[in-house]
């Protein structure tokens, strides 16, 4: 069954808060839910499908349905693939809608890592019964060094440079200056990125995403419902999802799971990378962006450094405008999971609601791409192709 034009994104909301010491995670979820439903012109009573991931407190949907007062829900999904979960949720909601399981699906994300001091530079707690923990926790892997491994390998194998990676941050910062909610709004230069402290060689501080509280939400509906609302209709054209692990010991850090999810999405959508006018690319680190651009087919493998250099990702300057809200590198990375914000900014671009300084003229076709987990070990990937009807 194809998902092509079987469902629409009718509501999108990004929480403006970047630090919320006075709010609970459940409260942030609720505020995001209300924001997305108001954006769509719907209410809690209209929701009959609910989607959340590991950031939701308690037993996920079980607790959140009760907290949100969602009494008409007949379909739930708590798929967990880290930061990419919410792109998978959009696709799963579309499949549920196409199968007649629900009509209005609500997807929420929220968290407080900034208030709780979660930075990604300390070893993760060993969780009992996680199958990889006994073998890997001995080496104290942390988020940043698992991405640094990938960056180092890419530099060794393809000649990518720190200067080229820095251009990704320069592009994100060029966009963030126009976002009043962005955590980092000052433009930066390549040299400033290179001069920032080394966090895990070869990644500098400015190669790393922000740590923020907040969240976001999306509303996915049947096409006829979307057409009845007073909002531009945003169709789901194609979707792909994949997980990459250790591959039975055949570890290859030169590619990500986007190489598997991307082709599926493009095939279903019936379009090519060259057709995309705007791309939201998961940017936990600069290397994350470069890897996905290659694996999605925007450039050949090993050519990502050249592709991102010289402002090629800056709206109005380069060939592929990306993350025009500033992305995770400058704007927001709520709950250490930036996937939902990638979809939200893609919706803004397709609606023509991005800031005038970064809005892509006549944007009708956009891509949203998410990675969740650790690029250097195991991770999930979700790819969405969206169009304005």
The 10s digit of each residue's pLDDT in 203-240 is 999 999 999 999 999 999 999 999 999 999 999 999 99
Query: CA-to-CA distance for 363 and 36, rounded, in angstroms?
Result: 22
**Which range (23-27, 138-142, 201-205, 284-288) has the least confidence?**
138-142
pLDDT at 151 over 60: yes
Place of tokens 């940017």: 283
Position 316 scores a pLDDT of 97
For residue 104, the tally of other CB atoms under 10 A from its CB is 27
Q: Residue 1: what pLDDT?
A: 82
CA distance 380 to 386: 20
Give residue-wise pLDDT tens across range 333-384: 999 999 999 999 999 999 999 999 999 999 999 999 999 999 999 999 999 9
Q: Are strands 203-204 and 49-51 parallel, antiparallel or unpaired?
A: unpaired
Least confident of 107-116, 121-130, 133-142, 347-356: 121-130
Q: Is the pLDDT of residue 119 over 70?
A: no
Give every CB contact of residue 107 below 8 A, 6+ residues apart in sequence. 51, 52, 86, 89, 90, 93, 217, 218, 219, 220, 340
pLDDT-derived band at 128, boundaries 50, 70, 90: low
> What average pLDDT does range 13-24 have in this prediction?
96
Confidence class for position 124, pLDDT limits 50, 70, 90:
low
Query: Is the full-model pTM beyond 0.75?
Result: yes
Q: CA–CA separation, 319 vs 311, rounded Å?
A: 9
Distance CA 370, CA 240 (A): 11
Handedness of CA 143, 148, 151, 153 (dihedral sign): negative
CA angle 347, 74, 388 (to 5 degrees): 20
Q: 294 CB contacts (<8 Å, ≥6 apart)?
A: 255, 300, 301, 302, 303, 304, 307
Please give the average per-residue pLDDT across 58-78, as a whole number.
97
Each residue's pLDDT tens digit, 153-202: 999 999 999 999 999 999 999 999 999 999 999 999 999 999 999 999 99
The single residue listed with the structure tokens 């991405």 is 147
Using CA atoms of 65, 66, 68, 71 in order, give the dihedral in degrees to the nearest 10: 70
Dist. CA 105–CA 135, nearest whole Å: 39
User: Coil, strand or helix: which one is 80?
Assistant: coil
Q: Name residues whose C-beta falls within 8 Å of residue 49's C-beta, 6 or more positions apart in sequence.
A: 73, 74, 75, 76, 77, 93, 96, 97, 101, 102, 103, 104, 105, 106, 220
How many CB atoms are located within 10 Å of the residue 159 CB? 11
pLDDT band at 121 (very low <50, low <70, confident <90, very high): low
pLDDT digits (tens, 9 = 90+) for 258-301: 999 999 999 999 999 999 999 999 999 999 999 999 999 999 99
Find the helix packing angle between 25-40 and 61-68, rounded to 10°. Answer: 60
The angle formed by the CA atoms of residues 247, 257 and 168, to the nearest 5 degrees, is: 130
Quote the percentage of the chain above a pLDDT of 90: 91
- Which one-letter DSSP state was computed for residue 28? H
Percent of the chain with pLDDT over 70: 97
> Of the ranges 96-105, 123-132, 282-291, 360-369, which one carries the lowest mean pLDDT score?
123-132
Mean pLDDT of 248-259: 94
Give the DSSP H/E element, type plus range, for residue 343.
helix 339-351
3-state secondary structure of 214: strand
pLDDT of residue 131: 83
Indicate if the pLDDT at residue 122 is higher than 80: no
Cα–Cα distance between 239 and 266 in angstroms, integer?
8
Predicted pLDDT of residue 229: 98
Supply φ then ψ for residue 220, to 5 degrees: -115, 130
Alpha-carbon separation of residue 59 from 62, 107, 281, 314, 351 (angstroms):
5, 16, 30, 41, 35
Which residues share a beta bridge with 285?
Answer: 208
CA–CA gap between residue 311 and residue 314 (Å, rounded)? 5
Q: Please tell me the predicted confidence (pLDDT) of residue 136.
A: 79
Between 132 and 174, residue with greater pLDDT: 174
pLDDT at 332: 97
Q: What is the pLDDT of residue 228?
A: 98
How far is residue 341's CA from residue 315's CA, in Å, rounded to a whole number? 18
DSSP 29: H
The closest alpha carbon to 381, from 255, 257, 246, 237, belongs to 257
Distance separating alpha carbons of residues 118 and 134, to the nearest angstrom: 23
């Amino acid at each position: 069954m194809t998902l092509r034009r079987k469902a629409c994104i009718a509501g999108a909301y990004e929480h403006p808060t970047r630090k919320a010491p006075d709010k609970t995670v459940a409260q942030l979820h609720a505020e995001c839910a209300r924001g997305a439903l108001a954006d769509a012109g719907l209410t809690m009573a209209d929701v009959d499908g609910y989607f959340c991931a590991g950031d939701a407190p308690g037993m996920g949907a079980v607790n959140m349905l009760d907290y949100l007062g969602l009494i008409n829900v007949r379909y739930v999904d708590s798929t967990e693939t880290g930061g990419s979960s919410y792109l998978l949720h959009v696709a799963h909601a579309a499949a549920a809608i196409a199968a007649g399981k629900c009509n209005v699906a609500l997807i929420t994300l929220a968290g407080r890592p900034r208030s709780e001091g979660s930075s990604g530079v300390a070893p993760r707690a060993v969780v009992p019964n996680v199958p990889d923990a006994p073998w890997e926790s001995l080496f104290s892997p942390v988020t940043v060094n698992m991405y640094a491994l990938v960056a180092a390998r890419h530099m060794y194998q393809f000649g990518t440079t720190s200067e080229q990676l820095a251009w990704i941050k320069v592009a994100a910062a060029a966009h963030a200056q126009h976002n009043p909610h962005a955590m980092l709004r000052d433009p930066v230069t390549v040299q400033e990125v290179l001069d920032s402290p080394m966090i895990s060689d070869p990644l500098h501080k400015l190669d790393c995403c922000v740590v923020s509280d907040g969240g976001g939400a999306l509303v996915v509906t049947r096409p006829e419902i979307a057409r009845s609302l007073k909002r531009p209709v945003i169709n789901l054209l194609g979707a792909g999802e994949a997980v990459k692990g250790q591959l039975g010991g055949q570890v290859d850090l030169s590619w990500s799971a986007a190489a598997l999810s991307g082709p599926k999405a493009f095939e279903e959508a019936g379009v090519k990378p060259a057709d995309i006018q705007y791309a939201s690319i998961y940017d936990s680190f600069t290397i994350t962006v470069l890897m996905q651009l290659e694996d999605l087919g925007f450039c050949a493998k090993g050519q990502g450094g050249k592709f991102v250099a010289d402002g090629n990702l800056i709206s109005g300057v380069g060939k592929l405008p990306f993350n025009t809200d500033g992305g995770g590198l400058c704007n927001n990375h709520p709950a250490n999971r930036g996937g939902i914000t990638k979809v939200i900014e893609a919706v803004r671009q397709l609606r023509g609601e991005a800031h005038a300084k970064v809005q892509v003229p006549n944007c009708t076709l956009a891509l949203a791409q998410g990675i969740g987990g650790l690029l250097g070990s195991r991770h999930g990937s979700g790819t969405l192709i969206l169009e304005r009807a």
